[in-house]
Amino acid sequence: MMRTKYDEQLAELNDALIEMATIVEQAIADANRALIERDMALAKTAIAFDDEIDHKEKEIEALCLKIIMQQQPVARDLRLISSVLKIITDLERIGDHAADISEITLIIADKPYIKKLEYIPKMAEATMKMVINSVDAFVKKDLDLARQVIAADDIVDDLFIQAKNVLLEMIDQDPNNGDQAMDLIMIAKYFERIGDHATNIAEWVVFSITGEHKGVKVF
């Protein structure tokens, strides 16, 4: 009977984590589309998701603590719950970065872009996929998928370097491009950080399954 209750709580935890990840994914998608289309209303929508994400984080934290207090989990189950607490921190930070991107969009969207956006939308697409796959890997306990996410971070890092180099070249060509180019570099940096947080999530998924974090056996 006790285990049935525990399994129900774990299922509730999975569902809540998926809900939080879905909101985060939508925030990234809206932030990206607002940037591409210079859509200030959509940028404001993306920023508004941040409060919802923060609320979801607190809700999941409370559920994790409730399970620990009521069930006193050990070994694998404790690894799983402690991983969730780490994962939601990274999801919350991803939500922050999506809001940061949209804040910059509001500043630059009233003028034409100095160059057609090329690498930043690719970064957005790649990081969204990483976030989705990292949470899927947790829910499905899929070690291979988690490791694919970790490997995908190199792609995002390469795209950031390419985006930065193109924008720095634009400043070289015309110093008047400086302000907007630096804003776009900052946006690219936020997308790179989203990739880093998705990688962190995948590393906690590996830990939840194997007890190892970044190659070190923890428990």
Contact predicate 208/200, CB 8 Å = no
**Please, is 75 exposed, middle or buried when counting C-beta atoms within 10 Å of its C-beta (0-12, 13-18, 19+)?**
exposed
Contact predicate 98/168, CB 8 Å = no
Residue in 96, 5, 83 with CA at minimum distance from that of residue 47: 96
Residue in 55, 33, 54 with CA at minimum distance from that of residue 44: 33
Query: What is the pLDDT, as a whole number, of residue 89?
Result: 98
Query: What is the pLDDT, as a whole number, of residue 7?
Result: 84
Please report, for the chain, the start and end positions of each structural domain, with discontinuous segments joined by +. Answer: 2-217
The torsion angle over the Cα atoms of residues 115, 154, 209 and 86, rounded to 10 degrees, is: -50
Digit-by-digit pLDDT tens for the chain (219 residues) are: 556 888 899 899 999 999 999 999 999 999 999 999 999 999 999 999 999 999 999 999 999 999 999 888 888 888 999 999 999 999 999 999 999 999 999 999 999 999 889 999 999 999 999 999 999 999 999 999 999 999 999 999 999 999 999 999 999 999 999 999 999 999 999 999 999 999 999 999 999 999 998 866 665
Contact predicate 38/184, CB 8 Å = no
As given in the structure block, the two tokens for residue 118 are 């090329």
Q: What span, in angstroms and rounded, lies between the C-alpha atoms of 177 and 26? A: 31
Where in the chain does DSSP place strands (E)? 212-213, 216-217
- pTM reported for the whole predicted model: 0.94
Query: What is the pLDDT, as a whole number, of residue 24?
Result: 97
Question: Which residues, 6+ apart, have CB-to-CB distance to 110 below 8 Å?
Answer: 38, 40
Specify the CATH number for 2-217; select among 3.30.565.10, 1.10.3720.10, 1.20.58.220, 3.40.50.720: 1.20.58.220
Q: What span, in angstroms and rounded, lies between the C-alpha atoms of 181 and 173? A: 12
